[in-house]
Amino acid sequence: MNNGLKHILEPESVAVVGVSPNEKNLATVIFKNIQYEFSKRGRAVYAVNPLYEECAGVRCNDRVPSSDLVIIAVPASLVKGYVKQAEQAGAKAAIVISGGFKESGGQPLLDWKPRLRVLGPNTIGVVNPHWGLNTLFLPHVKEYISGEILESIPDPAPGDVAIVAQSGALSITMLDDLTHLGVGLRGLVCTGNSEDISGEEAIEFFSEDGMTRVIAVYLEGVKDGRLLMRAVKRAKEAGKDVIAIVGGITDEGRRATGSHTASMIRNSALFTNALKQAGAYLARSYDEAMAVAALRSKWPTSRINSVVILSNSGGAGVLASDELGRNGVPLAEVPQGLIALRESGLIPRAASVKNPIDLTASGTDESFLLALDELCRGGAQGLIIIATHYPPGVSGSLPEKISAKIKSSCPDVPVVAVEVGSSAWSVAYRDGFMKSGIMSFSSPESAARALSGLYALPRISPFFAEATNEKASVSAELDEIYSMVEDAGFSRLPWGWINGEDDLKGLPYPIVLKVQAAGLVHKQKAGGVITGIRSPEEASAKYRELLRVFPGARVYYQRQVNGFEIRVGFVSDETFGTAIDIGYGGIYTEKLPHVTYVAPITESGVKSASSEAGISIPDSLAKAISRLSFIIAGSGKFKEFEINPVIVSNDGYYPVDIKYVL
Amino acid sequence: MNNGLKHILEPESVAVVGVSPNEKNLATVIFKNIQYEFSKRGRAVYAVNPLYEECAGVRCNDRVPSSDLVIIAVPASLVKGYVKQAEQAGAKAAIVISGGFKESGGQPLLDWKPRLRVLGPNTIGVVNPHWGLNTLFLPHVKEYISGEILESIPDPAPGDVAIVAQSGALSITMLDDLTHLGVGLRGLVCTGNSEDISGEEAIEFFSEDGMTRVIAVYLEGVKDGRLLMRAVKRAKEAGKDVIAIVGGITDEGRRATGSHTASMIRNSALFTNALKQAGAYLARSYDEAMAVAALRSKWPTSRINSVVILSNSGGAGVLASDELGRNGVPLAEVPQGLIALRESGLIPRAASVKNPIDLTASGTDESFLLALDELCRGGAQGLIIIATHYPPGVSGSLPEKISAKIKSSCPDVPVVAVEVGSSAWSVAYRDGFMKSGIMSFSSPESAARALSGLYALPRISPFFAEATNEKASVSAELDEIYSMVEDAGFSRLPWGWINGEDDLKGLPYPIVLKVQAAGLVHKQKAGGVITGIRSPEEASAKYRELLRVFPGARVYYQRQVNGFEIRVGFVSDETFGTAIDIGYGGIYTEKLPHVTYVAPITESGVKSASSEAGISIPDSLAKAISRLSFIIAGSGKFKEFEINPVIVSNDGYYPVDIKYVL
Domain ranges of chain A: 5-248, 301-459, 494-559, 564-661
Q: From B174, which residue of chain A is nearest by alpha-carbon distance?
A: A421
pLDDT on residue A395: 95
- Per the CB < 8 Å rule, is B315 touching A104? no
CATH T-level topology, domain B301-459: Rossmann fold (3.40.50)
CATH of domain B5-248: 3.40.50.261
Does the pLDDT value for residue B19 go beyond 60? yes
- CATH architecture label of A494-559: 2-Layer Sandwich (3.30)
Does the pLDDT value for residue B589 go beyond 80? no
B335 with B374: CB under 8 angstroms? yes
| CB-CB neighbors (< 8 A) of B389 in chain A | 142, 152
Q: Left if phi > 0, otherwise alpha if psi is -120 to 50, otherwise beta: which for B42?
A: left
ipTM of the complex: 0.92
- Per the CB < 8 Å rule, is A286 touching B444? yes
Residue type, B380: A
pLDDT, mean of residues A307-324: 96
- Per the CB < 8 Å rule, is B350 touching A100? yes
Q: How confident is the model at residue A662 (pLDDT cuts 50, 70, 90)?
A: confident
Choice among A287-301, B234-248, B311-325, B517-531 with the minimum mean pLDDT: B517-531
Quick one: angle between helices A444-456 and A314-326, nearest 10? 30
Mean pLDDT rounded to a whole number for chain B: 92
The pLDDT tens digits for B362-387 are 899 999 999 999 999 999 999 999 99
- Per the CB < 8 Å rule, is A444 touching B286? yes
The pLDDT tens digits for A53-84 are 999 889 999 999 999 999 999 999 999 999 99
A345 to chain B, any CB pair closer than 8 A? The answer is: no
Q: How confident is the model at residue A475 (pLDDT cuts 50, 70, 90)?
A: low
A526 to chain B, any CB pair closer than 8 A? The answer is: no
Does the pLDDT value for residue A176 go beyond 90? yes
Q: How far is B169 from chain A (nearest CA, A)?
A: 5
How far is Cα A451 from Cα A302, in angstroms, rounded to an integer?
A: 11
Q: How confident is the model at residue B264 (pLDDT cuts 50, 70, 90)?
A: low
- Per the CB < 8 Å rule, is A425 touching B152? yes
The pLDDT tens digits for A269-278 are 999 999 999 9
3-state SS, B301-363, equals CCCCCCEEEEECCHHHHHHHHHHHHHCCCCECCCCCHHHHHHHCCCCCCCCECCCCEECCCCC
Does the pLDDT value for residue A589 go beyond 80? no
Does the pLDDT value for residue A562 go beyond 90? no
Q: Indicate if A564-661 has the same CATH topology as A301-459.
A: no
Number of neighbouring beta carbons within 10 Å of residue A501: 13
- Per the CB < 8 Å rule, is A260 touching B317? yes
B383 with B310: CB under 8 angstroms? yes
pLDDT on residue B288: 98
- Per the CB < 8 Å rule, is A176 touching B421? yes
Q: In this prediction, what percent of chain A has a pLDDT beyond 70?
A: 97
pLDDT, mean of residues B546-566: 89
How far is Cα B28 from Cα B57, in angstroms, rounded to an integer?
A: 10
| CB-CB neighbors (< 8 A) of A395 in chain B | 145
Helix locations, A217-364, DSSP H: 225-237, 251-258, 268-278, 286-298, 314-326, 337-343
Residue B17's Cα: distance from chain center in Å?
36
How many degrees, rounded to 5, is the angle at CA B5 between CA B132 and CA B177?
55
| CB-CB neighbors (< 8 A) of A261 in chain B | 314
Q: Which of B318, B352, B591 sits opposite A253 (nearest CB)?
A: B318
| CB-CB neighbors (< 8 A) of A250 in chain B | 321-322, 324-326
- Per the CB < 8 Å rule, is A442 touching B287? yes
- Per the CB < 8 Å rule, is A220 touching B318? yes
- Per the CB < 8 Å rule, is A531 touching B532? yes
How far lies A156's CA from each of A178, A212, A298, B420, in Å? 9, 15, 16, 17
| CB-CB neighbors (< 8 A) of A166 in chain B | 315
How far is Cα B416 from Cα B393, in angstroms, rounded to an integer?
A: 21
Q: How confident is the model at residue A493 (pLDDT cuts 50, 70, 90)?
A: confident
B357 with B371: CB under 8 angstroms? yes
Question: Which phi and psi (to 5°) does residue B439 adopt?
Answer: -65, 125
Number of neighbouring beta carbons within 10 Å of residue A507: 20
A240 with A285: CB under 8 angstroms? no
Find residues 359-398 of chain A whose CB sits inside 8 Å of chain B. 360-361, 388-392, 395-397
pLDDT on residue B533: 87
pLDDT on residue B261: 67
Find residues 617-646 of chain B whose CB sits inside 8 Å of chain A. none
The pLDDT tens digits for A130-157 are 999 999 988 889 999 989 999 999 999 9
Highest mean pLDDT among A250-259, A633-642, B92-101: B92-101
The pLDDT tens digits for B123-162 are 999 999 999 999 998 888 999 998 999 999 999 999 999 9
CA dihedral A629, A632, A638, A639 (to 10 degrees): 20
**Based on C-alpha coordinates, what's the Rg of chain B?**
31
Q: How far is B249 from chain A (nearest CA, A)?
A: 6
**Running DSSP on this structure, what letter comes out for residue B392?**
T
Does the pLDDT value for residue A363 go beyond 80? yes
- Per the CB < 8 Å rule, is A261 touching B314? yes
Which of the residues B322, B433, B590 would you substitute to probe the A interface, choosing the one with the greatest number of A C-beta atoms within 10 Å? B322
Q: How confident is the model at residue B451 (pLDDT cuts 50, 70, 90)?
A: very high
A305, HSE (Cβ side, Cα atoms, 13 Å): 2
pLDDT on residue B366: 97
pLDDT, mean of residues B36-52: 93
Q: How far is A257 from chain B (nearest CA, A)?
A: 6
pLDDT on residue B1: 45
User: Residue B72's beta-bridge partner residues?
Assistant: B17, B96
Does the pLDDT value for residue B176 go beyond 60? yes
How many degrees, rounded to 5, is the angle at CA B37 between CA B36 and CA B43?
100
How far is Cα A138 from Cα A154, in angstroms, rounded to an integer?
A: 11
How far lies B533's CA from each of A530, A542, B386, B500, B653, in Å? 11, 12, 68, 16, 21
| CB-CB neighbors (< 8 A) of A425 in chain B | 142, 144, 150-152
CATH 3.30.2090.10 fits A564-661, yes or no: no
pLDDT on residue A661: 87
Question: Which phi and psi (to 5°) does residue A520 adopt?
Answer: -95, 100
Q: How far is B556 from chain A (nearest CA, A)?
A: 19
Question: First-to-last CA distance in chain A?
Answer: 37
Choice among A390-399, B274-283, B511-520 with the minimum mean pLDDT: B511-520
- Per the CB < 8 Å rule, is A350 touching B104? yes
- Cβ-defined contacts of A396-399 (< 8 Å, 24+): A396/A425, A396/A428, A396/A429, A396/A432, A396/B142, A396/B143, A396/B144, A396/B145, A396/B146, A397/A365, A397/A432, A397/B145, A398/A365, A398/A368, A398/A429, A398/A432, A399/A429, A399/A432, A399/A433, A399/A435, A399/A436, A399/A438, A399/A440
pTM: 0.93
Choice among B71-85, B180-194, B240-254 with the minimum mean pLDDT: B240-254
How far lies A389's CA from each of A312, B97, B123, B206, in Å? 9, 20, 18, 29
A315 to chain B, any CB pair closer than 8 A? The answer is: yes
pLDDT, mean of residues B330-345: 94
Mean pLDDT rounded to a whole number for chain A: 92
Residue from B448, B445, B430, B351 nearest A176 by CA: B430
Q: Left if phi > 0, otherwise alpha if psi is -120 to 50, otherwise beta: which for A489?
A: left
How far is Cα A251 from Cα B327, in angstroms, rounded to an integer?
A: 12
A220 to chain B, any CB pair closer than 8 A? The answer is: yes
> Which residues contact residue A599 at a Cβ distance below 8 angstroms, ignoring those fewer than 6 apart?
A467, A570, A577, A578, A579, A580, A629, A630, A632, A633
Stronger pLDDT, B384 or A468, i.e. the higher one: B384
Q: Which of B259, B325, B614 sits opposite A593 (nearest CB)?
A: B614
Q: Which of B142, B422, B445 sits opposite A176 (nearest CB)?
A: B422
pLDDT on residue B211: 97
Q: From A306, which residue of chain B is nearest by alpha-carbon distance?
A: B252
pLDDT, mean of residues A151-178: 95
Question: First-to-last CA distance in chain B?
Answer: 37
pLDDT, mean of residues A246-256: 86
Q: From A397, which residue of chain B is nearest by alpha-carbon distance?
A: B145
